[in-house]
Amino acid sequence: MHPDKTPAADARTTRGHRTATRRRLLAAALVIPLALGAAACGGDDSGDDGKTELSIFWWGAEGRAALTEKALELYTQRHPDVTFKKTWQANQGYFDKLATLTAGGNAPDIFQIDDNYIAEYAGRNVTLDLTPYSGDGKLDLTKFPPGLRDYGVVDGKLAGVAFGENTQGLVFNKTLLDKFELPAPTTGMSWEEHIAWAENVSKVAKVPGTQDASAIYQALWVWLRQQGKDLYKDKELGFTEQDITAWFDLWKGARDRGATPTPDVIHEGNATDISKQLVVTGKAATSWVWANQMPELKKNTADELGVVAYPGDPKSLWPRASMYFSVFRGTKHKDQAVDVLNFLANDPEAGKILGTDRGLPSNLDVRKLVADTVTDPNMKQTIAVQNDLGKNFGPSPAVPLKGHSKVRSELIRIAEEVQYGRQTPAQGAAAFVAAAKTAIGQG
C-alpha cells in the first residue's frame, strides 16, 4: 500500500463518518477474539514445513516502512523459520482498515496502535495481555523508563509495548526570529508570557507569533495538569466547564491581541498533515506538535527550527508513548509474536536500524547507542531536546480512555466554533464538556 506523502506521526483528529464506521467495525470485532479464545490459549502453530509467517501492520511514511522492513529482515536472518507478511499505509484510514481486518477475522498477528484506540481494543479483548511475558522475561521491559514501562496498561493488563518515547514540543522558526532580531521562546515561559512574546513577533515580523492552541488536545492536557487537573481521572473527565472556559478565554485574548493567525489559517494548522503545520508554511512563528515530529517538519522548510517545552511548569510534561505494538489475542503464534516485539524493542542492531522514527527508543541502552551513532542533525536535535526535557518530566497519566479520539475531534470542532466567534468561550466549554462525556460514556 502507498502512504500519503507526508503523514503525521500523531494525527490530531478523526472526524464524522470515519469515526462512526470505525465504531461499528469495532463493535463487530468484539466477537472475533472470543471465538478465537481457545487458539489464544494454546501453543504456537507452525506450517507443515515448520515455518511460521507472522502478519504485521503499521502506519507511516515510506521511510518508516523501509526501516521497519529492514529490521524485520534482520529478525528473519536470525530466525530463518520466521517470515513476515508486511502491510502498511498512511495514518489516514489506518484504523478504519485495522477495524475491518479485526472484524473480518483477519486481524494481523502484530499491529501498531496509539493512545486513541489502545483502551478501546483492550476493552474489547482484541489485544493479548502481555503482562505474563514481561513477568517471565520473554518480554524484557527492565530498560524502559518507568513511565513508558507502565504506559500501555489498561485495566491492569499490558495491552501494548511502547515503541518510542515522545513529549510535547513547541517548535519555532529560528530563522524568522533571527532575521528580526527577536528572542526565541524559552522553556519555563508562562502562558501569558508566551502570548505576549507572540504578540510582539506579530507586530515586528508581520507573521503571527503562535498557532492558536485552543483546539490542540495535548496543549490543553499540559495546561490542565498545571492547574492540578487532568484530561481524565479514573473513568471520567478530569476537568470542568469552568476549566475549559478559562482555556478558551486564554486563546480568545491571544486572538484579540493579534498573537495568532485568523480562524481560517488556524483551521489549516489544525490539519493532520505535517506539511500544513503553520511553522513550516510560514503562516505562524510557532506550532504545537510532538517533539519527534521535528525531522519530518524540517523536511518541509529550508528554515532552521528550534523546539522548547510547552509554556508553564515543564514538570507537567511526561514521557508519552508515541505509539505501541500490540499482539492480537487470537493469534496462533503468540509466543513468536511476543519474541518479535522483544527483538524490535531491545536488540541493539534493530534499534540502530529503526532510529528515532517512532520516537526515542524505549530501551535506554538502545537510545544511548542510537544517540551516539545517528548522523542526521535533525534527529540529533530531537534526541538532545527530548533528553533535556526528560530531566523535568512529571509522572505519566493513565492511558487515555475509550472514546479519546472522539474527545479530540470534538475539541477541534468546538474550539473552531469559538475561534470563528459562533460560540462564546463559555458556550463552547459547555458544548465540549457535554460532547466529551458522551464520547467516553460518562453519565
Which three cell numbers mark 435? 460532547
Across 102-116, 330-344, 381-395, which has the greatest mean pLDDT?
Answer: 330-344
Summarize pLDDT for 15-46 with one digit per residue, the tens: 444 444 455 445 444 444 433 333 333 345 55
Question: 181 and 83, same structural domain?
Answer: no
Q: What is the pLDDT of residue 36?
A: 39
Please report how the helices 425-440 and 241-256 are oriented relative to each other, as an axis angle in degrees rounded to 10.
130
Question: 54 and 25, same structural domain?
Answer: yes
Which three cell numbers mark 32? 472475533
Do the domain assignments include residue 2? no
28: exposed, middle or buried (C-beta count within 10 Å: 0-12, 13-18, 19+)?
A: middle
Question: 288 and 420, same structural domain?
Answer: yes
Question: 359 and 256, same structural domain?
Answer: no
Instruction: Give the closest residue to 191 by CA, choosing from 306, 284, 316, 350.
Output: 316
Q: What is the pLDDT of residue 46?
A: 59
Do the domain assignments include residue 159? yes
- Quickly state the pLDDT bin for 357 (edges 50, 70, 90): confident
- Quickly state the pLDDT bin for 394 (edges 50, 70, 90): confident
Identify the weakest region by mean pLDDT among 194-198, 226-230, 376-380: 376-380
Q: What is the pLDDT of residue 443?
A: 65
Q: What is the pLDDT of residue 4?
A: 36
- Quickly state the pLDDT bin for 77 (edges 50, 70, 90): very high
Mean pLDDT on 360-371: 92
Question: 206 and 98, same structural domain?
Answer: no
Summarize pLDDT for 207-239 with one digit per residue, the tens: 999 999 999 999 999 999 999 999 999 899 999
User: pLDDT: is 439 or 398 the higher one?
Assistant: 439
CA angle 127, 361, 224 (to 5 degrees): 75
Question: 310 and 192, same structural domain?
Answer: yes
Do the domain assignments include residue 397? no
What Rg value do the Cα atoms of the chain yield, rounded? 22
Q: What is the pLDDT of residue 359?
A: 84
Across 59-68, 150-159, 244-253, 300-309, which has the greatest mean pLDDT?
Answer: 244-253
Which three cell numbers mark 31? 466477537
How far apart are the C-alpha atoms of 71 and 73, rounded to whole Å?
A: 5
Q: What is the pLDDT of residue 47?
A: 59
Q: What is the pLDDT of residue 299?
A: 87
How far apart are the C-alpha atoms of 241 and 218, rounded to whole Å?
A: 18
Is the separation of the CB atoms in 265 and 283 below 8 Å? Answer: yes
Is the separation of the CB atoms in 40 and 128 below 8 Å? Answer: yes
* pTM for the model: 0.81
The DSSP symbol for 321 reads E
Q: Which domain holds residue 154?
A: 16-165+321-390
- Quickly state the pLDDT bin for 135 (edges 50, 70, 90): confident
Summarize pLDDT for 401-438 with one digit per residue, the tens: 999 999 999 999 999 999 999 999 999 999 999 999 99
How far apart are the C-alpha atoms of 213 and 277, rounded to whole Å?
A: 12
Do the domain assignments include residue 287? yes
Which three cell numbers mark 389? 526535557
- Quickly state the pLDDT bin for 391 (edges 50, 70, 90): confident
Question: 288 and 199, same structural domain?
Answer: yes
Neighbours of 175 (CB within 10 A): 13
Which three cell numbers mark 231? 484530561
How far apart are the C-alpha atoms of 422 and 436, rounded to whole Å?
A: 19
Do the domain assignments include residue 307? yes
Is the separation of the CB atoms in 19 and 409 below 8 Å? Answer: yes
Do the domain assignments include residue 349? yes
Q: What is the pLDDT of residue 38?
A: 33
Mean pLDDT on 64-87: 97
User: pLDDT: is 6 or 235 the higher one?
Assistant: 235
Phi/psi region, residue 137 (left: phi>0; alpha: psi -120 to 50; beta: rest), is left
Do the domain assignments include residue 396? no
Strand 324-327 vs strand 110-113: parallel, antiparallel, or unpaired? antiparallel
Q: What is the CATH number of the domain that holds 293?
A: 3.40.190.10
Domain count within the chain:
2
Q: What is the pLDDT of residue 392?
A: 83
Question: 136 and 242, same structural domain?
Answer: no
Question: 158 and 97, same structural domain?
Answer: yes
Which three cell numbers mark 39? 487458539
User: Is pLDDT of 121 > 80?
Assistant: yes
Per DSSP, the residues of 132-172 read HHHHTTSS--TTS-HHHHHTTEETTEE--EE--EE-EEEEE
CA angle 419, 425, 430 (to 5 degrees): 120
Alpha helices in 51-190 (DSSP H): 62-78, 94-103, 118-123, 131-135, 146-150, 174-179
How far apart are the C-alpha atoms of 199 and 206, rounded to whole Å?
A: 10
Residues in a beta bridge with 153? 158
Catalogue the E-assigned strands of 174-323. Answer: 232-233, 236-237, 286-290, 305-308, 320-321
Question: 179 and 101, same structural domain?
Answer: no
Q: What is the pLDDT of residue 16?
A: 44
Q: What is the mean pLDDT of the chain?
A: 88
Do the domain assignments include residue 4? no
Question: 191 and 50, same structural domain?
Answer: no
Question: 273 and 161, same structural domain?
Answer: no
Q: What is the pLDDT of residue 85?
A: 97
Q: What is the pLDDT of residue 205?
A: 98
Q: What is the pLDDT of residue 48?
A: 58
